Amino acid sequence: MRVALLSDAHLQGPGDPNQARLLRFLAKLEADRVCLLGDIFQHWWHFGAQPFPAYAPVIEALRRFPLTFVPGNHDFHAARYFADVLGAEVAPEVTAEWDGVPVHLSHGDEVDRSFGYRALSATLRGRVFAAGMDHLGPARAWRFLARISGHPQGTPDARLCAAQVAVAAARVTEGHRLVVSGHTHAPGVHPVPGGIYVNLGDWVRWHTWLLVDGGEATLFRRTDDDRDTPFTGEEAIR
C-alpha cells in the first residue's frame, strides 16, 4: 500500500507557481491513496457541484485517486464537495491502519485552543457567512475570499509546533504509531516514545510530502526541477 500525504499548499489558482508545481507532481504520482490534510486551497467555496474555476485543474488531477480529505482552516468548506462529488473519505480526524501501522491524521490546528482562533473559526463556518458567499456568487466570492484569506503563513509558530509534538505523543500512547498533521508549515519527522510524528510542511516554501509505503514513512521534498529528495531537516536551518 502506497499512500501519499500532503497539506498546506494554499493554492491560489493558475497564476500560482505552486499550483502548477503540484499539478506536475500529481500527474506523475503513483499512489493507492492520496491524503490531503488541509489548507490545500487558500480559500474555497463551491456553487452546486462547481468549484472555483481556478481550482478545476486540481480537482481533475485528484480524481484518479482514492482520496482522504481532512479540512483545514482555509478550505474547510471543501469537505462536503470532496465527500459528495469526489467520494472522498472526509473527517477532521482520520484513523486508519496501513500495512499493520495504525495512523492518525489531522490538519494540526486543533491544538490551537486560543479564544481568538476559535471565535474566528466559528464565524467563518457559520450560516451567516455561508449565506453571504452564496449571495456574492462565484466571481465576487473568489475576490472577496482572496482578500480576506491573507498570505500563506511563512514563519512557523514555535509554540504551536511544540503543542503539536506534545499532542502527537499523547496520540501515540493511545495506540497510533504514525501521527501526521500540517498547519504550522514546519516540515519534520519527530520520533516520540513508541511512534513517530510527521509534520507535512507545506507547498508554499518547502514542497514536502510524505510517502507511506509498506508501512515505512519517508518525508520528501520536491526540488525546483521536480525531483523527490528525502527531507533531512537540515534544509530548515537555511
Residue 126 beta carbon to Mn ion: minimum distance, rounded to whole angstroms = 19
Give the count of beta carbons closer than 10 Å to the beta carbon of residue 114.
10
Among 5, 10, 39, 152, binds Mn ion (CB under 5 A): 39
Q: Using CB under 5 A, which residues numbered 69 to 108 contact Mn ion?
A: 72-73
What are the residues whose beta carbons fall under 8 Å from the beta carbon of 16, sequence distance 6 or more?
none
Closest CA to 130 of 190, 86, 79, 173: 79
112 binds Mn ion (CB under 5 A): no
Residue 183 binds to Mn ion (criterion: CB under 5 A): yes
Strand segments, DSSP code E, in 43-108 are 46-47, 50-51, 67-69, 89-90, 93-98, 101-106
51/182 with CB nearer Mn ion: 182
Residue 21 makes CB contacts below 8 A (sequence gap 6+) with 203, 207, 222, 226
Residue with smaller CB distance to Mn ion, 78 or 101: 78
Rounded to whole angstroms, the Cα distance separating 178 from 200 reads 12
Using the contact rule CB under 5 A, the part of the chain among 33-41, 43-51, 161-169, 222-230 near Mn ion is 33-41
Smallest distance, Mn ion to C-beta of residue 218, A: 23
Q: 147: which strand partners?
A: none
CB 226 within 8 A of CB 23: no
For residues 123-182, which are near Mn ion according to CB under 5 A?
A: none
State which residue, 72 or 188, has the beta carbon closest to Mn ion. Answer: 72
**Residue located via cell numbers 500560482:** 16
Which CB atom, from 122 or from 131, has the smaller least distance to Mn ion? 122
Q: Is the CB of 76 or the CB of 220 nearer to Mn ion? A: 76
Residue placing its CB nearer to Mn ion in the complex, 98 or 203: 203
Q: In what order do the strands lie in the sheet with 188-192?
A: 93-98, 101-106, 178-181, 195-199, 188-192
Q: Minimum CB separation from Mn ion for residue 137, in Å?
A: 26
Binding mask 56-75 for Mn ion (x = CB under 5 A): ----------------xx--
Catalog residues that contact Mn ion under the rule CB under 5 A: 39, 72-73, 183
